[in-house]
Amino acid sequence: MSATGCRRVTAYLTELFEQPEIADQLRSLRASGATRDQYIDLMAGSAESEMAALIRDEFGSLPPLAVTTLIDAWAMADFAGKTLEVASVRPDEPMLFARNRRVRITIDAEEDRVTVGISHIPSRHAEWYAGARASA
């Protein structure tokens, strides 16, 4: 995620997903087969305007897989009674990430938590993501 808002967004989402009322809403959305945009609306709708804008900007620049992976990881943690941590991970090869417009999403399932790591270079995203977002 971007250096400008990434750490703030990931910290916010980690806290947000711990809230019981948000968990209830996420369960309902999953049961209804919600869209990516509905999940983003929930995350952004629970935030103050500046954070809401950061959430929409961050997830708007990433492929839809970022949202679906995050929600699937949350569901795995929720089912197991574990916490979910969302983390901005600095790319191990920033120049390669930028050149290839790479986004990396990882899930670490551990004994006491599930961690979703997102790595990318701000403003360096493949154009095809826009088409993928339109069909998600």
Residue 41 within a domain: yes
**What is the tens place of the pLDDT at every residue in 104-136?**
999 999 999 999 998 887 766 566 666 555 545
Number of domains in the chain: 1
**What is the tens place of the pLDDT at every residue in 30-52?**
999 999 999 999 999 989 999 99
Residue 1 within a domain: no
Please give the residue range of the domain that contains residue 18: 6-135
**What is the tens place of the pLDDT at every residue in 99-108?**
888 889 999 9
pLDDT band for position 5 (50/70/90)? confident
pLDDT band for position 9 (50/70/90)? very high
Count of beta carbons in the 10 Å neighbourhood of residue 78? 17
